[in-house]
């Protein structure tokens, strides 16, 4: 059974810091891994999608890496800003039961202080 874990559960940093969010998954047979951002009371915004054949993806100040063999992914945020404050979720597709629903971690709640 695929399980996704995110560490830390919460993180508070001063503006301008670089930071790393961690995601681990138990079954390395994944098709891809997706990072999302969720603002309070809102839906999910897709940040980065890494295919299983890729090792990293970059979008602006965000960089996500994937190491399938060790079951890990990291999301690196450079020069953090208060607007980055949100909950960050990682998820992998599950093809065992349903037709590819996502299995989510519990998220890392990020707070960037001005």
**89 makes contact with another protein (CB under 8 A):** yes
Phi-psi region of 90 (alpha: psi -120 to 50; beta: other; left: phi over 0): beta
Q: From the list 46, 58, 59, 81, which residue makes contact with another protein (rule: CB under 8 A)?
A: 46
R_g of the chain, CA atoms, integer Å: 14
Q: How far is the CB of 49 from another protein (least distance, A)?
A: 4
Q: Which of 101, 90, 80 is nearest to 7 (CA)?
A: 90
Site for another protein in 14-33 (CB under 8 A): 31-32
In the complex, which residues of this chain contact another protein (CB under 8 A)? 31-32, 34, 36, 41-46, 49, 51, 89, 91, 97-102, 104-107
């Amino acid at each position: 059974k695929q399980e996704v874990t995110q560490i830390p559960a919460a993180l508070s940093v001063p503006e301008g810091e670089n930071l790393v969010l961690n995601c681990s998954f138990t079954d390395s047979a994944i098709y891809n891994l997706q990072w999302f951002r969720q603002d309070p009371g809102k839906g999910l915004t897709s940040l980065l999608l890494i295919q299983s054949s890729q090792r990293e993806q970059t979008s602006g100040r965000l960089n996500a890496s994937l190491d399938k063999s060790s079951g890990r992914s990291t999301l690196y945020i450079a020069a953090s800003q208060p607007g980055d404050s949100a909950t960050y979720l990682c998820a992998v597709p599950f093809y065992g039961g349903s037709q590819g629903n996502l299995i989510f971690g519990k998220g890392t709640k990020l707070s960037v202080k001005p």
